[in-house]
Each structure stands twice: as C-alpha cells, then as structure tokens.
A and B are shown apart, each in its own frame.
Chain A
C-alpha cells in the first residue's frame, strides 16, 4: 500500500480536517511540496495534528512558521523534532495506528485460512517460489501458515500460536487462528467505540474462564469403560480426519490411528510410530504393521531372513581410518612397501569387522557406507549388513530394538545390542524393504501409506499425524466433547449469561467474546455452502434447552444431534484452542507501539 500525500480525516459536519495521517504510514516520505503545504495549512489554521510524525519535513514547517512571524507556532508543536532515536531505516508506529496495523494483519491471516475449516473446507496450493517451484496441496492450517511470507508482526503471533497448537495437541491449528482473529475483529469494533484495550482484555479473560468452566461441566469421561473409550477414540479420529484428504476412507484410517495409539499404551512418544510413504496403490491399501520397516537394501550375498536377530546399530566409517592431519604422507622406497601399506589398510578394515563380529551379532546396521570389502567379509560371516541407513532411520531403529548407536567397538560388553524376533525382506509396491518384527519395544509399529501421488501421500501423512497427535493426547486426558460447533455454542451461551450479570464496560467485551465464538459454527456452515445465519440461529434456539446435543450436520446441511452422529472432539484440543487464542488476542491488543528495526544491511561480497 503506497499512499502519496497525507490523508485527511474530516468530521461529518466540520469542513476542517480533524486529523492528518501522514504518508509516512506507508513508508513513503512526505517530502513533496503539496504535503508540506498541507501540513503548513493545518498548523497555521490551528488544526490539531494527532500523532505528529517526526520527520525532516516538520522541521521545515516549523521553520516556515517562524519565518512568517505573524503566527507563532502552536503550543503542541514539537519545538524541535526529537533527536533521532532510531536508526535511519527503523520505523516506529504508535497508538491507534499500531493497533490498526495489528488488526489488519491478524484479520488478513484469519481470512486466508478460514476457508479450510470444517469438513467441507477447501484446500490450498502452496507454490514455492524457491527452486523447482514445488507444489504442496494442503488443508492443514499449520502447514499453510508455516510456509507463508509474513511481514506483519501481529500475523506472526498468530502463526506462532498455530505452531504451538500443532506441537502441543496436533489438531485445531486452523481453529485457534480463526478464533483469535475473530476475537480481534470484535475488539477492533470495541476500540472504535472508545473502550480501553485493557477493559477489553479483562473482559476477555473473564469470558475465557467462564467458557472453560462451561466446557468442563459438559465433558464426558469414559476412562473407566475401556469399550466406550475406544469408541470415543474412533469418533475423535473420524472427526479429525473428516476435514482432510482421508475423509473418504476415514473409518479405515481412524482404525489404523486408534490401533497405533493403543499400542503406545499411554505414552505420547509418537517417535515409535513410523510412517512410510510409498507411491502406488490407493489410500485404502495403507496398512499398519507391527515392528519397524527400514527402506534400505540388504547387502549382496547375505542372508535375507534372520530369526532372533541381535542387531548392532552403528555410526562409523567403514573405510580405513585416515590420519586427519593435512599433508601427512608416507615415504617408501619400493613398490612392495606400498603393497604392504595397502595390505595393512585392508588388515585394519578386517580388524574392525572382526571386532564388530566379536559382539556376537547377526545383523549390522551402519549409518555410513559399508564398502565392498567389508560387505564381503560380512557376507562370508553370514551376517546381514545394511549400509547407509539415514539418521532418522537408525535412531528409530535403536529406539525400537532397544539398542544403542555405537561408534567404537573395543568393548563388546559395554555396547547394548538391539533385539528382534525376525528380520526379513518384504515387498511393498515395487520396492523391497527390510522388516524388523517382534522388536524389543512392543509399542513400536509402522504405518505404510499408499497413494496415487506424492501430493496425496504428503497430505495423508499430515492428516494422519494430526489424528495420531490428538489420539495420543486423548489417551492421557480422556475427557471428550461433542464436535460440529457444539462446544462453541455451549461456551457462547454461558458467556452470554455472564455478560448479562457483569456490570460496566467489561460486559461489552464479554458479549463480544461470545460473538467471536459463534463465528466458528458460522464459518463451518459458510464453507459448506449452507445458510449460516439461519443455521446458527436455529442452533442457538436449540441450545436454549438444557443438555442439548445439537450441532451443525454439514452432510445433511441442517442442525443435528452430535451424539447420535458420533462427532466428537478431545477436550484438550478445545481447551488449548480457547486459551491460546484468547492469550494471543490479548497480547496483540496490548500492543500500542510497533518498532520495526532497521534491516541488517547485507555486505556486498563482490
């Protein structure tokens, strides 16, 4: 946005401008004669200029004022523009303008991701401007926000909360941003109505507390009943997946996710669940397998199947140990000596292999290359050797087989070996992979995703990851809520009640909070192409009754019973959405000055 010249703000009735916003707002420096004249006109005719920006131009205005002599400069005029405090390129925005910038940024971000909300939310293409112009298709709020170019500080705050939401609970990344954005949108109106931001903040706080209590009263906890709890998990997984690419096969994937999470037995260590993507087949062909799958090849001439494997996981260079001093060299005087050295080098490799064999293993996995020579030695010893496993792969392998990653082999007794019942080569699609089954860490499992293309697979992985996160959190915190806009309606109702009880200006803020909550069902309905005003009003009427389970049934496009439809959400997710959105809104509201530091200059490296 570039504005040339100042913006004048007029009162409805008065012909004189009320305020002058300088063009500095747009970082274009007001240097034109026109600007100067306008400013001068304002000063001389006694129009108060709020937010007088500091700039060289105003020194000139001041100078002109003193020159004409007949006018003395007005008393509020900054006598001399303050000595420059900030660096040249640094800029400062204050008060209302700063707040405005935050609102605009935050709301823009909200509008961007809002269309992805709900089961009928749309996807976005993320087109990379980097090399290769890679394309990602996604519905995941966190992924979209993470990859945006953002210059607005308030927008960055929103992106951060969505990231935190992603790390903490895994799902609700879009909801949290949308709620925060709606809270700010409401706050903007209140600020325009001259309510102090601090009043709004305290109102929001009260409202958030009240909303949380309202949810707490309505949670269902099926911790005692294993059967029911499992069905709760299924419902949550299906609800999470229904807004994603996996929605067509959501039952299949919900089952996969629940099975995987149940194996974890309460730990939230998702590391133990490995997701392997293999193009080909369709999403329905995806499956869960116990144990661990490594996408590598077994060395030539080595056994392809090992029972009761003892695994040594290592990160070591298998070529000769080199002297790492630059310029070290050996001087010899005959060819046979060279041959001897070569022989010695080979001998060293053999030593190393022997040491490794000394651990009594029958499977050796190395992160680095195993060259032809050691490979043959391993093959001769009948040991399965896997070379060049990636970092992630061996760390996980060490974790699930209960071994340690070794890099020296002098003390066989101190190295912890990994164990598993069976190692074999399996074929998925066109590729051969190595499957470790019956591993030490019983909870480990692998989900193999199949799908038409990389886009589908990547998006499927993100969706499944969301579901896994939510489920693993739910296993620990077993409280469950209904979905489909139901929690928002419950909260909004209670918050509304609170607003009526609260005296003072705060009550406006509390009311605004309830309106912001209602925005979520509204957006869900809008995205599905439904008449949101009608639906939300109906929903509110339903909720007027005690103990109502009504929510938006997007599929039939009407108000439906969420308990019957089996749409559930985890309490932890909703709570995190509520609290972090409120906090973020509060943080942005408190801002009254934005200082942009001067960009660090890049040195020309010519």
Chain B
C-alpha cells in the first residue's frame, strides 16, 4: 500500500505546513538572530577580509580576523545566535580553519530557509532535504579533491599559506607556512600516521622583535629566565637535565609544627642545620652529574630559597624554577626523561641529556633554550615574536590555524582548490541535481545550491570587486567545465585557482558544509523557547 501511495504524485495537502503565529514568530526570531551573527563576521572572510577590534569587558583589546575568536568574545545571549557561536567552535575543533566560512554558509542557508518557510514548506521537509544535499555536496567535493602525499612539502606549504593569507600576518606567510608544515611533520608518529596531537607543538610567545623573528626550535623553550641569584651559570654545554617535583628548601611537614628556640646558641645551631640540610640535598644532586635543574612550581612551600640557589650556583648547576605542573608531561616527553619526586630517587637514569642549555636575551626579556636533545621525543616548540601584544596574539592564532590546516591534511590527505571554486562548483552540480529530484525536495536542494554562492560573492565583495559580475562570470566558467576556476583576489579576476597555488584541505570544506547544515537543521526544528530553571 505504501508503494502505491509513493507512486502517486504528491497532493498539495502533504508536506504543506500551516503554522500558528507564535511558532512562526519564534522561528523568525531565531533565524534573524542567527543571521545577525553571521553578518557580523561576514566582512572578515577571505584574503582581503577586514579585521574586527573587540574590546572585552575587562578593557582588553583584541584585533582579529579569526571567526571563532570574534564570535567567542561577542557574548551573545539569544539561544539561536549562541548555536552559531558553538558552530564556529566546532569547526575550530574539527578542522581549525574555516571558522568564518562555516558561519557565513549557515547564515546564507538560513536566509534561504526563511523564503522556503514563507512558501509554506514544512520545516522537517526542509531539514531532510538539506541533509541530503549536504551528503551529496560532500561527495561532489571529494570528487573534486586532489590526493596529496605527505612527502609533498610544497603542496602542504601552499595550503598553509592560503590559510595565512587572510590574516594580519599574511606578509609573513612565506616564513610561517613552512614553519607550520615542518612542526606538524616533525610530531607525526610513524606508528599512527593519521594522528597529530597539536598539544605536542608548544607555542611560546615573546614580545619584541617582529613576526619575522619567529622561529622553530628543535628542543625546548622556557619563557622565563634562568635563576640569577648568586650568579649561577646561564649556559651549560653537555647538559644533564633533571626535572624535579620536590623542593630544595628547609623541610616543612604537613602537620603543623613549631620550633622552640630557648636561647641564642640554639638559633645558630638551627641555622647551621638548615644549611647542612640543603647542602646535603645539593650534594646528592651533584653526585649524579646533573647540571641543569628544572623545578616544578610549588604552592605549599617555596620551591627554592635564596640559600639553596646560592649553593646550587656554587655547585655550578643551572636552575629554571616555577615550571607549571601541566607542562611537566610535555617537558619529560621532549627531554626523554622522568620527573623526580623525591631526593632519594635522584638517579642518573632519570636525567635527560642535551648538547646546550642557554639563556638567550630577546628584546627586553630572556628565555631559556634547550637544544640538541638526545633521543628527543616527538615534540616541537615554536617561538613566536611580535612587535606588540595584539600582533603577537593574532600571530599565534593564525599560526594555530595554519597548524590545524596541516593537521587536517595529515589525517585526510586531500587538497581542494580555494578562492570560491569549490563552492561555485557545488552550487552548479547541486543545481543540476535538484532538477532530477521530485517535489519539495528539489526545491529545497536548489535553495541550498543558491545559498552556497554566498562564499564567492562575499569573497569578491570583500575584495572590492563587483560581486555580481564576478559570480556570474564564475558560473559561466564552471559551466564550461573549468572546475578549478576561482576568484584570484590579488589580480581581481577569475583564473585557474589551482595554478595560483591557492589550495586548502578537503576536510575544511567538507566539515564546513556538514556542520553548517547540521546547525541550520537544528535551528529549523525549534518551534518554542521555554524559560527554565
């Protein structure tokens, strides 16, 4: 019986939707709010996109071009708008780049949905069609993609620089892109070639210099100086490094204690005992041949005292203090050593070895660099420099995006053209596909296809080109089979974008489409906002 009904042409009664006023209002309000969010970030899309200045509640100023950061700091309250913010966060965690794109696509889809809804199409029908369209879109994108080998460093650099080109630091993309590629490649574990843990790449920011001075350090960098008290060494060759989690200071018990001093001679004795105690510890350390100490920060008591620093300096041991507990894992992994939690366990086999540990002056501050580590773990440190805090922060965010892009390529080794080419191609193919579909579905898929044109449109608009002329021209070129024709923003015209080396990972595009669709579908299905506890 079902088969019979399915074969019948769908009557006008089905799939139509009569909504009552309240639900209509709520849906409209949700869509409007979400679109407002999308419009806010729209102008920051693309290489000629503009930046936003955000002044946060506590008076801090952030200048950024990164969609996720802008939305994160916007503090929206409307629930649907919040969902868009979450959407960009998800894109950030899934692909790391394309956080603006995903929001702009969602906004365009919502705009189309508004028209569809006002035509009386049931939201679930729209939602199902969007889902279908997104699956098809992913197929189309995958078909367009170009496979990539990890050994192909050139292509990796190209895609990293595409991501960097839209940022403030774009003029340094020739420096940062290879840097990002090298650092990701150096942490890839041959046992698990698809997995890259970005936590293995540590980014250290240091004010001063210019972004040009950013460098990749094969080793460790601490954003602190070596302890200078009592003139301890600041440079150590053939270093034997110990990471300690105990304190070199007078003993302190967990139970409350007090020392009773009755006369002055006793006082002297106590001081002497204290000295001996510390000296004893340092002797034990020295006995293992250790000459660099990294001391974990301690809240319960002083990790080091002036006295112990003095003795350590005398023993020619370099000290870096106040290492955070969270960093210990990274450090031990890098140095290939074990943390030592008690002086009794201070043994040679727990030490790490490095050719050189030195304190380097950088601008007004100093950093400690550890290089030439023996049996170094799969970690990398990037030292980012910048002339002011704003540039520095933005450089870090951009670098993070670039790292994510490379990571995407490692986990899914396909490249796709940039510059609006994939979107316009999707739009064309889905538009053609929609003509084969029946009923409301075809109608909705066509709207989906139209919505995707927003990306090339916005790209052109932000670059100061005539968006309508460009988009129609693009469509024309794609209809003639040039699937890689895209907007060349630098030249202000349409060229084969693959030849221009504007490429991005496939994962960024596919996840932008699927995530945006998922979010829009969720917003569509909501018909009420209920205030609860």
State whether the Cβ of A328 lies closer than 8 Å to any Cβ in chain B: yes
Per-residue 0/1 for A132-143: is the Cβ within 8 Å of any B Cβ (1 yes, 0 no)?
A: 010101010000
- Given A301-B339, A335-B251, do A560 and B531 touch, yes or no (CB 8 Å)? no
Determine the chain B residues whose CB is within 8 A of the CB of A123 once the complex forms: 522, 525-527
Determine the chain B residues whose CB is within 8 A of the CB of A427 once the complex forms: 192, 195, 197
State whether the Cβ of A430 lies closer than 8 Å to any Cβ in chain B: yes
Whole-angstrom distance between the alpha carbons of A373 and B273 in the complex?
25
Judging by beta carbons under 8 Å apart, are A126 and B254 in contact?
no
Judging by beta carbons under 8 Å apart, are B533 and A558 in contact?
no
Determine the chain B residues whose CB is within 8 A of the CB of A320 once the complex forms: 254-255
Judging by beta carbons under 8 Å apart, are B5 and A556 in contact?
yes
State whether the Cβ of B175 lies closer than 8 Å to any Cβ in chain A: no
Bin the interface of chain A by size.
35 or more
Q: When the two chains form the complex, which single residue of B2, B274, B514 contacts A556, counting CB atoms closer than 8 Å? A: B2
Distance (whole angstroms) from the CB of B353 to the closest CB of chain A = 17
Determine the chain B residues whose CB is within 8 A of the CB of A331 once the complex forms: 257-260
Judging by beta carbons under 8 Å apart, are B260 and A338 in contact?
no
Q: When the two chains form the complex, which single residue of A112, A139, A335 contacts B277, counting CB atoms closer than 8 Å? A: A335
Judging by beta carbons under 8 Å apart, are A335 and B274 in contact?
yes
Distance (whole angstroms) from the CB of A347 to the closest CB of chain B = 10
- Given A124-B528, A127-B79, A556-B2, do A330 and B257 touch, yes or no (CB 8 Å)? yes
State whether the Cβ of A144 lies closer than 8 Å to any Cβ in chain B: yes
Q: When the two chains form the complex, which single residue of B79, B90, B341 contacts A125, counting CB atoms closer than 8 Å? A: B79
Judging by beta carbons under 8 Å apart, are A300 and B339 in contact?
yes
Distance (whole angstroms) from the CB of A21 to the closest CB of chain B = 28
Distance (whole angstroms) from the CB of A167 to the closest CB of chain B = 20
Determine the chain A residues whose CB is within 8 A of the CB of B245 once the complex forms: 372-373, 376
Question: Which DSSP category, helix, strand, loop or mixed, fits chain B's interface?
Answer: mixed
Determine the chain A residues whose CB is within 8 A of the CB of B10 once the complex forms: 557
Determine the chain B residues whose CB is within 8 A of the CB of A319 once the complex forms: 254
Judging by beta carbons under 8 Å apart, are A125 and B13 in contact?
no
Judging by beta carbons under 8 Å apart, are A127 and B5 in contact?
no
Judging by beta carbons under 8 Å apart, are A560 and B1 in contact?
yes
Judging by beta carbons under 8 Å apart, are A333 and B5 in contact?
no
Whole-angstrom distance between the alpha carbons of A553 and B6 in the complex?
11
Which of the segments B15-23, B203-211, B394-402 contacts the partner chain?
B15-23
Determine the chain B residues whose CB is within 8 A of the CB of A376 once the complex forms: 245, 338-342, 345
Measured CB to CB, the nearest residue on chain A to B26 is A125
Whole-angstrom distance between the alpha carbons of A323 and B254 in the complex?
10
- Given A300-B338, A529-B18, do A125 and B526 touch, yes or no (CB 8 Å)? yes
Judging by beta carbons under 8 Å apart, are B273 and A334 in contact?
yes
Determine the chain B residues whose CB is within 8 A of the CB of A282 once the complex forms: 514, 518
| B residues contacting the other copy or chain, number (CB 8 A) | 79
State whether the Cβ of B498 lies closer than 8 Å to any Cβ in chain A: no
Q: When the two chains form the complex, which single residue of A125, A147, A149, A452 contacts B87, counting CB atoms closer than 8 Å? A: A452
Judging by beta carbons under 8 Å apart, are B519 and A115 in contact?
no
In B493-528, the 8 Å CB interface with A consists of 514-515, 518-519, 522, 525-528
Whole-angstrom distance between the alpha carbons of A454 and B93 in the complex?
12
Q: Which of B258, B514, B528 has the most CB of A within 10 A?
A: B528
Determine the chain A residues whose CB is within 8 A of the CB of B198 once the complex forms: 430
Judging by beta carbons under 8 Å apart, are B90 and A452 in contact?
yes
State whether the Cβ of A96 lies closer than 8 Å to any Cβ in chain B: no
State whether the Cβ of B469 lies closer than 8 Å to any Cβ in chain A: no
Judging by beta carbons under 8 Å apart, are A373 and B255 in contact?
no
Whole-angstrom distance between the alpha carbons of A430 and B80 in the complex?
27
Judging by beta carbons under 8 Å apart, are A430 and B197 in contact?
yes
Distance (whole angstroms) from the CB of A506 to the closest CB of chain B = 36
Measured CB to CB, the nearest residue on chain A to B91 is A452
Determine the chain A residues whose CB is within 8 A of the CB of B266 once the complex forms: 333-334
Distance (whole angstroms) from the CB of A444 to the closest CB of chain B = 26
Q: Which of B17, B87, B256, B332 has the most CB of A within 10 A?
A: B256
Per-residue 0/1 for A463-489: is the Cβ within 8 Å of any B Cβ (1 yes, 0 no)?
A: 000000000000000000000000000
State whether the Cβ of B82 lies closer than 8 Å to any Cβ in chain A: yes
